[in-house]
Chain A
Amino acid sequence: MSFFVELWSFFRDRQKFWLLPIFVVLVVFGGLVVLSQGSAVAPFLYPLF
Chain B
Amino acid sequence: MSYILGLSAFYHDSAAALLKDGALVAAAQEERFTRKKHDAGFPACAIRSVLEAEGITLADVDHVAFYDKPFLKFERLLETYVATAPKGFASFRVAMPIWLKEKLFLKRLLKTQLCEIDPDFAEDRLLFSEHHISHAASAYYPSPCDEAVVLTVDGVGEWATTTLGIGCGASLEIKKEIHFPHSLGLLYSAFTHYTGFRVNSGEYKVMGLAPYGTPRFKDLILDKVVDLKSDGSFRLDQRYFDYATGLTMTNGAFADLFGEPLREPDKDPLTQFHMDVAASVQAVTEEAMLRLCRAAAEEYQIPNLCMAGGVALNCVANGKILRDGAFQNIWVQPAAGDAGGAVGAAYAAWHQELDQPRAPEGGDRMHGSYLGPLHETDEIAAMLDDLGAVYERMSQDDMITEAASALADGLAVGWFQGRMEFGPRALGGRSILGDPRSETMQKTLNLKVKYRESFRPFAPSVLREDVSDWFDLESDSPYMLIVADVGKRHWREMTDDEQALFGIDKLNVARSSIPAITHVDYSARVQTVHQDTNPLYHRLISEFKKRTGCPVVVNTSFNVRGEPIVGSPEDAFRCFMGTELDVLAIGNLILRKPAQDPSLKEDYTQKYELD
List chain A positions with a Cβ less than 8 A from chain B. Answer: 2-3, 6-7, 10, 14, 16, 19, 22-23, 26-27, 29-31, 33-34, 37
Contact = CB atoms under 8 A, between A and B. Distances in A.
Nearest to A19: B78
Interface stretch (B98-106, B266-274, B438-446, B501-509): B98-106
Interface residues of B, number: 19
Nearest to A29: B96
Given A6-B71, A34-B101, A26 B108 contact: no
Contacts of B75: 10, 14, 16, 19
Contacts of A33: 92-93, 96-97
B126 to A, nearest CB: 11
A22 B78 contact: yes
Contacts of B105: 3
Contacts of B101: 34
B interface secondary structure, majority: helix
B353 to A, nearest CB: 16
B100 A30 contact: yes
Given A19-B75, A30-B92, A33-B97, 14 more contacts: A3-B104, A3-B105, A3-B108, A6-B71, A6-B107, A10-B71, A10-B75, A14-B75, A16-B75, A22-B78, A26-B81, A26-B92, A33-B93, A34-B97
A10 B106 CA distance: 15
Main secondary structure of the interface of A (DSSP, over half): helix
A23 B277 CA distance: 41
A3 B107 CA distance: 9
Nearest to A3: B105
Going nearest first, the 8 A-B pairs with the smallest beta carbon separation are A30-B96, A34-B97, A10-B71, A33-B96, A30-B100, A34-B100, A33-B93, A22-B82
A19 B72 CA distance: 12
8 contacts: A3-B104, A3-B107, A6-B107, A10-B72, A14-B72, A19-B78, A33-B92, A34-B97
B79 interface: yes
A19 B82 CA distance: 10
Interface string B97-132: 101110011011000000000000001000000000
B547 to A, nearest CB: 63
A49 to B, nearest CB: 11
Contacts of A23: 78
Given A3-B105, A3-B108, A19 B79 contact: yes
A26 B96 contact: yes
A26 B108 CA distance: 22
A30 B71 contact: no
B425 to A, nearest CB: 37
A27 B82 CA distance: 13
A31 to B, nearest CB: 6
A34 to B, nearest CB: 5
